[in-house]
Structure 1
């Protein structure tokens, strides 16, 4: 069996290692440059690879192809594979056939990283043998090749779900759906929504779907489509059903199989309404896996949060600097601005993924005193907010953006990096952008 892996990053190299271990003839092809450390791993493992090209005769003879999530389906080599009827699958789909571990699959436009890390934290604290993978951490396939975990918590992007045909999580979480990555879905929101719901398509009556009961796109889809999984909704307004999460008397309540878990909201380590929802989702997973209430309570109290997600960096001369580099879409920024309680200098910009800034207008009017545009092309942001904010400046360097923000901020204000866009115009990725932001603050 010939396995061709497109993309020589973390998921690609992990898949190649698992494929080799399972006796496949493996070839890795990357149209960009493969990082030196990955080249080394491939070579040590005797796996053939190429970079900065796709050699068709070495690819189109595959029995199965694992496509890295970053490669769009409209790329010509992928089109040719699909025309030839060669299955093109995701890393998750490839790896799952080689493990009998239980998986918890987590997707959503926002909150999925926090919910994934929080769920992993809850399960790990309870002493379960649990792995963390998917869109985060070490490749799932790589872990399946090398470790024996009983449970995996997987953060799944819509691109990973697009390459799924048989995979089913025992427990799925859908945190929310808002327009994101529409450039990859022909600017059709319904295609993107459909992508997210692939997480439940193979689930059976023995499985569970945990979801935000207040999310319009989720509600509409569930009205019009039947699912087999048991529904576990959560909501901040009212009790959603027999099972699920809700708020009462400033307590989080979560009922699973007639068992009630309850805990005061003010004891949660994470702040903000969206994090109450993330906590409800993670709690439901812990209850479904029969984790002790005391352990759940302790874990929700001592969770550390996620780097680059509303991360308080420093307070300088009474100004709080906040790193929310992970906010790569409008909906994430909505949460960020909604949680601001002081006048805010907002650093925004990057590669626009088809953003509609309208929903931010009321919050920007209320909270934002100045905007620093950090991107190669800021015209869309300027057109959107020109009449709403008095001060708008443009820059293409992080250190200058932070210096400008410092000049615009007064004691008692906040400076918020929450870009609403991808980072690839000026940075390697959102982590690189967040790290440069923090470095620039320390240099002030």
Structure 2
């Protein structure tokens, strides 16, 4: 890791813990900063804060007192989930204190190239798939970000001979100053997270931040099928590589006559790819384009694409039991992701859906519910989803308390040949800490069926 002096003897506030806050606080302490950690959870219920306290780091728990701004902090490293209208954050910005996220630290210390992947949907699959292709191509990749170990922790161990493949959210990308991935990927941009960003324009701008510091030595991989995304990234200084699932391009990654091509070189027949769902073709094209920047061979790409079956919690096959196939798509935290999952099946579907209410309705799902014979709802959005299902003509709609109870109800109202699909179309935070927790509970409930 680069031994930077940026934070040496500087007062830095780490606001909010979880994995990113713990990593940032420990790293800043190593870099010689005077670190204060502030977390909303009381100290007695906060093992992360207790651990930092044992390292000699100052910890203030049980709220976010505005008086902290009087302590002369020179930087704030904010947990991505804390909104910018939080009084402490808003007050810091008003005072001109830089408010960063932990990925900025990762970039500052990393000796490895960073490949940053963002977008509304497909980030996790693209990140994992690219990691596997780079591994097969002997490129020494490391995986980081929302998908696993936080970026600032991975960056501490990364060498110049490695590549960091990092999944990035809009929340993280709002808190960067110098962060510059050598390769940036924007899978797609749709409406999401308006409860945090306020407008779709602000959300898109946060995503496009991924390329703001790139130079002509860097690369930006962009979805050519989205005109608004093409327009928003037109002024980048990076070399643009387009991908498209719908048209043949003069260069970049595209599909033609049943084959994937890159820069007019035929790579693989679509029929040989085992990752299910038309929506995954975007993710595959992104990964192929990024791999080709590093001169990965076609043999390595083919090896992965003929064996890679997907990511846990993203249309993940769980089991077949009594003629029903169960799929865990807990990472479907918005309608668009659920549309993709529904489109992946031709069989009758029993759909399990619901979660955090962000203020939107679900009527855009109606055209995609044609194969859904039964809906089982849970969470804050249960009534909204019920209304949508009624408009779609679904006769069998049931409400339960949670995902665990949804599984036996779904099974009871299914038949042999049906798909039972958890694809919530909502974030998990009304009932579960993460979408992974929600998915794991679903998997456990499926295996308990007798």
Q: Deviations over 1:153-198 (max 9, x none)?
A: 1101000111112211111111011111011122x11111111111
The number of residue pairs the alignment matches comes to 436
CA distance in 1, matches of 2:236, 2:404: 50
Preserved contact between residue 18 and residue 144 of structure 1 (Cα < 8 Å)? no
Deviations 1:116-137 (A, max 9, x none): 1111111122222322112221
Q: Is the 8 A contact 2:259 2:266 kept in 1?
A: no
> In the alignment, what sits opposite 1:227?
236
Give 1:412 shift: 0.9
Q: 1:180 aligns with which of 185, 192, 209?
A: 192
1:68 aligns with 2:73: no
The answer as to 2:58 corresponding to 1:48 is yes
Map 1:391-410 onto structure 2 (within 5 A): 391-410=396-415
User: 1:377: how far off?
Assistant: 4.4
Corresponding residue for 2:330?
A: 325
**Quick one: distance in 2 between partners of 1:369 and 1:209?**
42
CA, structure 1 residues 329+377, in 2 after alignment: closer, same or farther (shift >3 Å)?
closer
RMSD of aligned residue pairs (Cα, Å): 1.9
168, 173, 176: which one aligns with 1:156: 168
**Residue correspondence of structure 1 range 1-80 to structure 2 within 5 A:** 1-32=10-41, 38-39=48-49, 41-60=51-70, 61-80=72-91
CA distance in 1: counterparts of 2:55 and 2:138, whole angstroms = 33
Q: C-alpha separation between the residues in 2 aligned to 1:161 and 1:102?
A: 17
Contact 1:20-1:26 within 8 A present in 2 as well: yes
Q: Secondary structure at the match of 1:19?
A: helix
Secondary structure of residue in 2 paired with 1:69? coil
Shift of 1:59: 5.0
- 2:131 alignment partner, SS class: helix
**Quick one: which of 318, 321, 327 aligns to 1:313?**
318
> Matches of 2:123 and 2:438 in 1, distance apart?
20
Residue of structure 2 in register with 1:244 after alignment: 252
2:348–2:372 contact (8 Å) kept in structure 1? yes
Matched, 1:95 2:106: yes
- 1:387: how far off? 2.5
**Cα shift at 1:55:** 4.0
- Contact 1:106-1:112 within 8 A present in 2 as well: yes
> How far apart in 1 are the matches of 2:156 and 2:65?
27
Equivalents in 2 of 1:103, 1:189: separation in Å? 27
Structure 1 residues 332 and 377, CA, compared in 2 at 3 Å: closer, same or farther?
A: closer
**Offset of residue 391 of structure 1:** 1.4
* 2:428 aligned with 1:423: yes
Q: TM-score by structure 2 length?
A: 0.92
How far apart are 1:363 and its partner, in Å? 1.3
State the distance in 2 between where 1:359 and 1:240 align. 30
Does the 8 Å CA contact 1:330/1:356 hold for their aligned counterparts? no
Rounded to whole Å, the distance in 2 between the matches of 1:207 and 1:147 is: 19
Runs of 5+ in structure 1 lacking a partner?
Answer: none
Contact 1:313/1:322 (8 A) holds in 2: yes
The CA distance in 2 between the partners of 1:42 and 1:361, in whole Å, is 49
Q: Indicate conservation of the 8 Å contact 2:351/2:422, yes or no.
A: yes
**Residue 139 (structure 2) pairs with residue 134 (structure 1):** no
Farther-moved stretch of structure 1 (294-303 vs 35-44):
35-44
Structure 1 residue 52 displacement after superposition? 2.1
Contact 1:108/1:177, CA 8 A, preserved across alignment:
yes
Partner residue of 1:119? 130
Matched ranges for 1:354-365 at <5 A: 354-364=359-369
**Does 2:205 align with 1:194?**
yes
Residues 262-271 or 145-154, more deviating: 145-154
- Checking the alignment, whether the CA contact within 8 Å between 2:122 and 2:283 is kept in structure 1 is yes
Distance 1:147 1:50, change over 3 A: farther
Q: Residue in 2 aligned with 1:171? A: 183
Separation in structure 1 between the aligned mates of residue 67 and residue 363 of structure 2, nearest angstrom: 48
- Would the aligned equivalents of 1:193 and 1:217 in 2 still touch at CA under 8 Å? no
**Paired position in structure 1 for 2:371:** 367
The aligned counterpart of 1:268 is 273
SS in structure 2 at match of 1:273: coil
Q: Distance in 1 between matches of 2:172 and 2:91?
A: 20
3-state SS of paired residue (1:302): coil
